[in-house]
Structures are given as C-alpha cells and as structure tokens.
C-alpha cells in the first residue's frame, strides 16, 4: 500500500500592465499551473478586450494562476511581480496607458493580503519613487478571449513580443521562484 500526496494549490492574481507580458514572465516559473489572462476589479459584467481597453469598465488586465507552497512561495511570486514591471508607475506600463494597466495584486486570503503588504513594504527601499501598487480583495475573474491566452508562445516573433516581452524575459532569467 502506498500513500498518495495531494498538492494543495492556491490562486494568485496579478495585474502588471499588459497581460501578455505578465503571462510570459510567470510561465517561466516551475510549478505554476492553470494560467489564464483576463479581467478583474471592474464594475461591468462579462467585459471583453475592447471594452476594457476603453477604460470605462474599471477592470485591470490580469494574470490568474495557481501555485503551491504557501506564504513563502507567495512572497517570492510577489517579488517576481515587482521585478516584472514598474510598480511606481500609476496606470501606465511603458506605452500602455490607462487604469486597465494599473499595478495591482488581487488577494484571495488574509494571508495573501498580509504577505503582499509586507513584501511591498520591504521592497519600497529599493525604489526612489513610491510604490503605487493597489492591493485589493479578489473579485469576479473574467477570462480574456482565446486569442489572448498564451499570447507570447503563439506570437513569439510579432513586433510587440520581440520589442517588449522578450527583453523583460531576458532580464528575469534568474528569478528564484
């Protein structure tokens, strides 16, 4: 008789500008699963890409995924989140501008909220500007259209992927997660 171990997965949801970039970065981390890009934090039910990009829905472009390892692993993921974008830029990442590109962590538990707050507070000393990352309770997640899922993998040689996503991936080759 052998015992089977069941890994408990928790959900994480980060908005760090363009969700194509977020997904490409986090897909490099071993042990993460169930990736989906989509929308969270707004007031419109069933938003789509066009409506979110209009800036009228209140949603952020986000990456939603599952991980195991508890608070210590979550803290590592928050650190990678910080490294993968500019958390001091309000409603903007590079050329992408608007509230849909805001820096945001949507937490699923009090433990995640506390870990995110502590990680951001500890990281603040590394930044000349104030970290403006929003930390909010997770709300309804709306998956983005299929064309946006795993975008980098399917469009690796597209100009945006080569000029924006690939350089970020090159910078983050050793993220320690």
Q: How far is CA 33 from the centre of its chain?
A: 13
Residues 6+ apart with CB under 8 A from 114: none
Between residues 174 and 149, the one the model is more confident about: 149
Residue 26 corresponds to which tokens in the numbers above? 């986090």
**Catalytic choice (13, 18, 21, 161):** 18
Indicate if the pLDDT at residue 1 is higher than 50: no
What is residue 173's predicted lDDT score, i.e. its pLDDT?
64
Between residues 3 and 112, the one the model is more confident about: 112
28, 32, 33, 35 alpha-carbon torsion, rounded to 10°: -60
Which domains are seen in the chain, by residue range? 10-166 (3.30.1060.10)
Residue range 65-81: mean pLDDT, rounded: 95
What is residue 175's predicted lDDT score, i.e. its pLDDT?
56
pLDDT tens digits, 11-55? 999 999 999 999 999 999 999 999 999 999 999 999 999 999 999
The yes-or-no answer on residue 13 being catalytic is no
143 beta partners:
38
pTM: 0.93
Indicate if the pLDDT at residue 176 is higher than 70: no
């Amino acid at each position: 008789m052998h015992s089977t171990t069941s890994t408990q997965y928790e959900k994480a949801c980060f908005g760090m500008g363009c969700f194509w970039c977020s997904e490409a970065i986090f897909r490099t981390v071993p042990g993460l699963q169930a990736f989906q890009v989509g929308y969270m934090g707004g007031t419109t039910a069933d938003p789509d890409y066009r409506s979110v990009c209009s800036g009228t829905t209140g949603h952020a472009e986000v990456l939603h995924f599952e991980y195991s390892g508890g608070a210590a692993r979550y803290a590592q993921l928050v650190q990678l989140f910080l490294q993968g974008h500019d958390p001091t830029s309000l409603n903007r990442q590079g050329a992408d501008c608007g509230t849909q590109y805001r820096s945001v962590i949507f937490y699923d538990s009090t433990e995640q909220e506390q870990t995110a707050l502590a990680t951001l507070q500890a990281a603040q000393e590394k930044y000349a500007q104030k970290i403006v990352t929003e930390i909010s309770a997770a709300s309804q997640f709306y998956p983005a259209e299929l064309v946006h899922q795993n975008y980098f993998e399917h469009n690796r040689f597209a100009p945006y992927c080569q000029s924006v996503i690939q350089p970020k991936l090159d910078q983050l080759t050793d993220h320690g997660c």
